[in-house]
Amino acid sequence: MAKNYQSKKPVGKMLFMGIISTALYVVLLSQQDMLNEYFGKGGVYAFLPIITAFLFSFIHGTFTGDFWTVLGIEAARKKKEVK
Amino acid sequence: MHDTVNAVANFINLDTANIIYLFLVGFVGGLVSGFIGSGGAFVLTPGMMSLGVPGLVAVASNMCHKFPKALVGAIKRAKYGQVDVKLGIVLGISAEAGVLYGAHIQESIKKSFGEAGSNLYVSAAFVVILAVVGGFVLLDAWKTYRSGNAHEEEKVTKLARWVQSVNIPGTMVYFKSIDAKVSILFTIPLGFATGMLAATIAVGGFIGVPSMIYVLGAPSLMASATELVIAFVMGLGGSFKFAMHGLVDIRLAMIILGGSLFGIQLGAIGTTYVKPFMIKVVMGVIMVTVLFSRALMVPVYMSQLHLIQEISEGTAKSLKNVSFGIMIFALALGAFIVLRAMWQGRKAERLQHAGEVLGHGKV
């Protein structure tokens, strides 16, 4: 695992994911009326919020993970002994 | 789909201040849940309601941010070897059943006693469970701290040793977090109780994590990480159910998720720096603090139900504000303990690293 700590910080990946994540939020906030109309329909439209949640968790989750890595905040080097 | 029209009509207008507020509360909630496996919902749901979001939409939107958040947190902590996926799924499925049953109880209470009756039930459940479980967790953490054995591996409770010793043929499953076989006849009621609590107060982890530690014998680091798997399973099922009725306000859910994904990553990293008993400290402190917040609201609901002398509107409003303030304080206090412990852990690691480098004559 020591190799990981020496590896280059994922600045490029963070920026890329950050831009996509921001774009998703811009769409979310600029299209509120349209989103509310479809996402609030219920029934088969229930898949819309679920898919959106997965999409945001993947894009924004990768971005936030890289964000802390780029800032140098990473897990302890000596891993805790876990049974 | 009669709910649908109402739900859409009830989706509030969002201004910048609301967005920043939800993002920040999401961040702190995420930080705590990355660390202890649960938390945040008890501030987020009332927080959304204070912005004018109807109760059901607040619960639904909270749940829709919870499952992707738990997923990201679980993946992160699985990288540190802290997640027992099998235990998480087994408990998660029984928790799902608990959620459905809990929601059913909620509905019948609401039908019979109205909004105030349902609020009283939620608050009473909060107070009793948090007092018993929170007090126990905090006492246990305090004992570990006092004994000076904070670095040592946690001891498995007598109850957990007994549970592990019971052999019921055909029901035994091996769980890596416990490193033993346990009958699923024990895990099912635990998961069910977690789900019921989640349906009642939105924070199932307050039962899930302590039960994994004290009843099954899992280490606290693994219990808190595995809770994220349970939260994912429960949250996904719950969100879908609410979304079927058009109750999820996706904007609210995703804004909170925006903040909480920053928080949950940091909280998960934090667990690798602290002694295991710190999980119990943070969990216990939050549970006991929140307990006071809910206890303050009990007389308000009792007065609404005419069970006690009527409380004036002004007093009720102040009690409500103080109650909400205490919840924010509980979450902020939890976040402070996590960040402080992490800061100290990192400092100690840097010092140790510097010492090693000097020792090897590399400088």
Q: Are B333 and B285 in contact (CB under 8 A)?
A: yes
Q: B-contacting residues of A 29-48, CB under 8 Å?
A: 29, 32, 35-37, 39-43, 45-48
- For residues A63-70, average pLDDT: 97
Task: Say whether pLDDT at A81 is over 60.
Answer: no
pLDDT in tens, B113-157: 888 888 888 888 888 988 999 999 999 999 988 887 766 678 899
Q: Do B250 and A35 touch (CB under 8 A)?
A: yes
| A82 vs B147, higher pLDDT | B147
Q: Are B143 and B284 in contact (CB under 8 A)?
A: no
Task: Say whether pLDDT at B4 is over 60.
Answer: no
Which token pair is B42? 């008890």
pLDDT in tens, B198-214: 888 778 899 999 999 99
- For residues B216-245, average pLDDT: 94
Please list every residue in chain B whose beta carbon sits closer than 8 Å to the beta carbon of residue A73.
266, 269
Give this complex's ipTM. Answer: 0.89
Contacts of B70 (CB under 8 A, 6+ apart): B33, B228, B229, B231, B232, B235
| Cα–Cα distance measured from residue B327 to residue B156, given in angstroms and rounded to the nearest whole number | 32
What's the gap between Cα B23 and its chain centre? 18
What residues does B172 pair with on adjacent strands?
Answer: B183
Which token pair is B337? 């303990």
pLDDT mean across residues, chain B: 90
Lowest-confidence segment of B65-69, B195-199, B289-293, B356-360 by average pLDDT = B356-360
Question: What pLDDT score does B118 carry?
Answer: 84
pTM (predicted TM-score) = 0.89
| B2 vs B181, higher pLDDT | B181
Q: Do A65 and B258 touch (CB under 8 A)?
A: no
Task: Say whether pLDDT at B107 is over 60.
Answer: yes
Query: Please, which pLDDT band fits residue B93 given cuts at 50, 70 and 90?
Result: very high
Task: Say whether pLDDT at B350 is over 60.
Answer: yes
Taking the alpha carbons of B56, B90, B28, B254 in that order, is the dihedral positive or negative?
negative
Task: Say whether pLDDT at B6 is over 70.
Answer: no
- For residues B16-30, average pLDDT: 93
Please list every residue in chain B whose beta carbon sits closer than 8 Å to the beta carbon of residue A70.
none
| Cα–Cα distance measured from residue B320 to residue B314, given in angstroms and rounded to the nearest whole number | 10
Question: What pLDDT score does A7 carry?
Answer: 62
Task: Say whether pLDDT at A83 is over 50.
Answer: no
Question: What pLDDT score does A3 carry?
Answer: 46
Minimal Cβ distance to A35: which of B64, B240, B251: B251
Task: Say whether pLDDT at B76 is over 60.
Answer: yes
| A63 vs B52, higher pLDDT | A63
Task: Say whether pLDDT at B12 is over 60.
Answer: yes
Minimal Cβ distance to B11: which of A36, A65, A75: A36
Query: Please, which pLDDT band fits residue B359 given cuts at 50, 70 and 90?
Result: confident
Instruction: State the residue for tokens 């609030």.
Output: A40
**Cα separation values, A61 from A68, B238, B266, Å:** 11, 21, 12
What residues does B173 pair with on adjacent strands?
Answer: B182
Question: What pLDDT score does B261 carry?
Answer: 97
Task: Say whether pLDDT at B249 is over 80.
Answer: yes
- For residues B51-73, average pLDDT: 91
DSSP string, B251-287: HHHHHHHHHHHHHHHHHHHHHTTS-THHHHHHHHHHH
Question: What pLDDT score does B148 carry?
Answer: 77
**Cα separation values, B245 from A43, B89, B96, B165, B284, Å:** 7, 26, 18, 45, 36
Query: Please, which pLDDT band fits residue B1 given cuts at 50, 70 and 90?
Result: very low
Rg of chain B's alpha carbons, rounded to an integer? 21
pLDDT in tens, A3-52: 445 567 899 999 999 999 999 999 999 999 999 999 999 999 999 999 99
Minimal Cβ distance to B221: which of A61, A78, A82: A82
Minimal Cβ distance to B250: which of A52, A75, A82: A52
Q: Do A41 and B1 touch (CB under 8 A)?
A: yes
Buried/exposed code over B228-263 (b: 16+ C-beta within 10 A; e: otherwise): bbbbbbbbbbbbbbbbbbbbbbbbbbbbbbbbbbbb
Q: What is the number of CB-based contacts under 8 A between chain A and chain B? A: 146
DSSP 3-state assignment of B148? Answer: coil
Q: Are B14 and B321 in contact (CB under 8 A)?
A: no
Task: Say whether pLDDT at B72 is over 70.
Answer: yes
Q: Are B57 and B247 in contact (CB under 8 A)?
A: yes
